[in-house]
């Protein structure tokens, strides 16, 4: 049996009222930064955050 992690729990949840979107983003970004092979959802969120930070740092 494969251990569950927080991001997997959010991926399979159908109850949108119980999902804390900030926590999903935090879990995905942590996976993106600390896993050599992040899942597609984590990679997408991580890349989006990096792009936003790049624009912020450039003052745009």
Q: Where are the beta strands (DSSP E) in the chain?
A: none
- C-alpha 25/C-alpha 23 separation (Å) is 5
Burial of 22-46, coded b for 16+ CB within 10 Å and e otherwise, reads eebbebbbbbbeeeeebbebbeebb
For residues 37 and 22, what is the distance between their CA atoms, to the nearest angstrom? 22
Residue 1: its pLDDT value, please? 46
Q: What is the pLDDT of residues 17-58, one digit of tens each?
A: 567 889 899 999 999 999 999 999 999 999 999 999 999 999
Q: How far is Cα 31 from Cα 7, in angstroms, rounded to an integer?
A: 9
Domain boundaries, the chain: 20-60
């Amino acid at each position: 049996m494969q251990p569950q992690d927080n991001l997997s729990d959010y991926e399979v949840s159908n109850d949108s009222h119980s999902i804390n979107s900030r926590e999903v983003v935090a879990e995905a970004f942590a996976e993106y930064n600390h896993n050599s092979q992040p899942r597609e959802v984590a990679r997408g969120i991580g890349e989006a955050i990096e792009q936003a930070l790049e624009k912020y740092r450039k003052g745009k």
